[in-house]
Structure 1
Amino acid sequence: MMDWDKLRIFHAVADAGSLTHAGDILHLSQSAVSRQIRALEESLNTTLFHRHARGLILTEQGELLFDATSSMRRRIDTAAARIRDSEEEVFGELRVTTATGFGSLWLTPRMPALYAKYPDLKIDLMLEERVLDLPMREADIAIRMKEPSQADLIRKRLMTIRMRLYASPEYLAQRGTPEKASDLSNHRLICQSPNTPQVSAGAVMVQELLTHDIPSMLTVNNYFGVLQATIAGLGVGLLPDYVIEDFPSIVRVLPDLESAEVPVFLAYPEELRQSKRIAAFRDFVVDEIFEHRRRLQTAERER
């Protein structure tokens, strides 16, 4: 029977790629870590690491064991998360992932309401375009701009967004307001870089706009940068419509031009169905989206 403590030390070494770094994490000396790894290799009658000057590399047998310890670690984390979910309170860590633009421009400005209600939450917000693997516990809950394809996920459609064109009043006063799509040939277009991961509706709209022989462009690899450049008066920005509520100074241009609808989904693993933290975050997002819709409808009626 394998020693759990040795497996824990092996996992730390494999994850860190060095005995010294693993020792720092585990608060053990390098020699103590090395002894435990040697003892584990002897008990299994195999070599788990290739020793190189630049660090340690897993052997094929080491990779097999690391897959097993990684799976064990995820299952233990899941069990611990479920145990920590109290009957009455919402506390502890919640790992949330979403796209950079949505996370920085829509989600984080609204999070004071969540922390006001649950001050003991520890949220790890991971903003990236890569879709993290929820069943493999890379994150606990995700908000994504397409329906998740993985099995064993609970999913909820939250809203739809569209890509639209915006500019600052100062830019329009200086350069004039385009009246039709072909007028964009007299303007600078600001948009996400075509080679960065983004919703296909946005990429399709960029391709359509570029048929108008646009002379100057600024491309940025996330919508936060596109928004800042638009506010600064650099040109006409292609942005998701959810930004307009929090940045009312920018003006929509060419209102007949917009992308196809992009669905926004919230998803989390089936095994976290009973999690109080998940329920608290889900209900917060749903409430904020309800308020977001209501405010947008009010603003549309007032225009």
Structure 2
Amino acid sequence: MDWDKLRIFHAVADAGSLTHAGDKLNLSQSAVSRQIRGLEESLNATLFHRHARGLILTEQGELLFEATQTMSKRLESASARIRDSEEGVFGELRVTTTTGFGTLWLAPRLTKLYEQYPHLKIDLMLEERVLDLPMREADVAIRMKEPSQADLIRKRLMTVQMRLYASKDYLDKHGHPQDVEEIKNHRLISQSLQAAQVGSASTLVQKLMTHKPGSVLSVNNYFGVLQGVIHDLGIGVLPDYVTEDFPDLVQVFPEEDTNPVPVYLAYPEELRHSQRIAAFRDFVQNEIIAHRKHMKELGKI
């Protein structure tokens, strides 16, 4: 199969237009059209439905586009490996993690990484969906469970526990509850049970709900829960790593500790020699060591 025709087909399928694909490829519309027609003839298949508003892939075209998308991602990956083996620590690094960990722990520490590598460009993607690293949806991930995707290098970074916290001002005003049954006299702030979250947090919230909190504020991420807690709205379910940066938080119901949640860093096997990955990995590990040391000094671990 003609690789040049496949490249042109991919551009047309992606743009949905011969003209737009031609602009991207620096080819005339007629040249692009000839290449597509030649590819269809070689495959004995129609790849596009043509109409006044543009081009739509046929079923056969969809199959071929899936294949060229995979090829494109693999080529990008190979190109990244070649660059990373030759270049220093600069350029784009796509990092994915959860909204909570990304906003409350990682993002506030990135100043130190940029001080070391000022020409690095971090694309930080915060979402609960697990992105496909082998297909290069991201370069490196930090997740709250061990990744199950194949062909990944995994490193366990730390463990997190979900605990209950309130502000000093809130407890001074509403009292410091000593028993979990006293949650009925307080507002509970937590992620909603329908939101994507670690299982131990969901289990803790379900248990607290059986004691009928006096009021409930549900938020779809831990950043929102934290904002409610530090603004004296109630008792919140939060990961324990937030207390380093918010030392005025007071733990409530310490006997209600949850099972530890493992935190993993993962990246594709093919990026094993990436200098950008190595720099980010070492930065995160060093920050975790500093985090543990500080937490010990605060008497929180």
Fold match (TM-score > 0.5)? yes
Q: Offset at 1:19?
A: 5.2
Cα distance in 1, alignment partners of residues 173 and 51 from structure 2? 62
Alpha-carbon deviation of 1:279? 0.8
In the alignment, the residues of structure 1 paired with residue 192 and residue 26 of structure 2 have an alpha-carbon distance, to the nearest angstrom, of 44
Shift in Å, 1:3? 4.4
1:200 alignment counterpart: 199
Aligned partner of 1:96 in structure 2 is 95
**How far apart, CA to CA, are the structure 2 residues paired with 1:103 and 1:110?**
10
Q: 1:191·1:220 contact (CA, 8 Å) conserved in 2?
A: yes
Matches within 5 A, 1:159-238: 159-238=158-237
Q: Which residue of 1 aligns with 2:274?
A: 275
The 2-side partners of 1:52 and 1:171 are apart by 64
Counterparts of 1:12-91 in structure 2 under 5 Å? 12-17=11-16, 22=21, 36-51=35-50, 56-87=55-86, 89-91=88-90
Offset from partner CA, 1:89-117 (integer Å, 9 cap, x none)? 21221111111100111001111111111
> d(CA) in 2 for partners of 1:30 and 1:247?
59
Which letter maps to 1:164? R
Q: Which amino acid aligns with 1:294?
A: K
Partner SS, residue 300 of structure 1: coil
Distance 1:78 1:88 in 2: 15
Task: Name the CA distance, whole Å, in 2 between partners of 1:55 and 1:250.
Answer: 58
1:297 aligns with 2:277: no
Q: Residue 2 of structure 1 aligns with which residue?
A: 2
What do the CA deviations read for 1:141-198 (whole angstroms, capped 9, x no partner)?
1111001112211111100000011112222222211111001001111111111111
Identity %: 69
Instruction: Work out the CA distance in 2 between the residues paired with 1:158 and 1:40.
Output: 49
Runs of at least 4 residues off by over 6 Å: 27-32
Name the CA shift for 1:25/1:190 in 2 (closer, same or farther; >3 Å).
farther
Amino acid aligned to 1:179: Q
Amino acid of the structure 2 residue aligned with 1:71:
T
Q: Distance in 1 between matches of 2:16 and 2:190?
A: 40
Taking the aligned partners of 2:35 and 2:180, their CA distance within structure 1 comes to 68
C-alpha displacement of 1:45 = 2.8
2:74–2:135 contact (8 Å) kept in structure 1? no
Q: What does the per-residue CA deviation read over 1:53-94, in whole Å, with 9 as the maximum and x for residues that have no partner?
A: 776442221122112211211111111111111556212211
Structure 2's unaligned 5+ residue stretches are none
Q: Write out aligned runs for 1:78-157 (5 A).
A: 78-87=77-86, 89-157=88-156
Aligned match of 2:244: 245
- Bigger drift between 241-250 and 83-92 goes to 83-92
Contact 1:84 1:92 in 2 (8 A): no
- Aligned equivalent of 2:261: 262
CA contact (8 A) 1:220 1:226 kept: yes
SS of alignment partner, residue 130 of structure 1: coil
Question: What amino acid sits opposite 2:2 in the alignment?
Answer: M
Q: d(CA) in 2 for partners of 1:53 and 1:212?
A: 63
Q: Separation in 1 of the partners of 2:53 and 2:196?
A: 33
Q: CA deviation at 1:264?
A: 0.3
Amino acid at match of 1:170: D
Moved more, 209-218 or 181-190: 209-218
Check whether the contact 2:143–2:263 (CA below 8 A) recurs between aligned residues: yes
1: distance between equivalents of 2:227 and 2:21? 41
In 2, Cα distance between the equivalents of 1:114 and 1:52? 51
Instruction: Give, as a single letter, the amino acid of the residue that structure 2 aligns with 1:246.
Output: D
Of stretches 152-161 and 167-176 in structure 1, the one that deviates more from structure 2 is 167-176
Q: Contact 1:190–1:217 (CA<8 Å) still a contact in 2?
A: yes
Is the 2:85–2:273 Cα contact (8 Å) retained in structure 1? no
1:228 Cα shift? 0.9
- Unmatched runs of 5 consecutive residues or more in structure 1: none
TM-score relative to the length of structure 2: 0.91
User: What's the C-alpha RMSD, in Å, of the aligned pairs?
Assistant: 2.3
Amino acid at match of 2:147: P
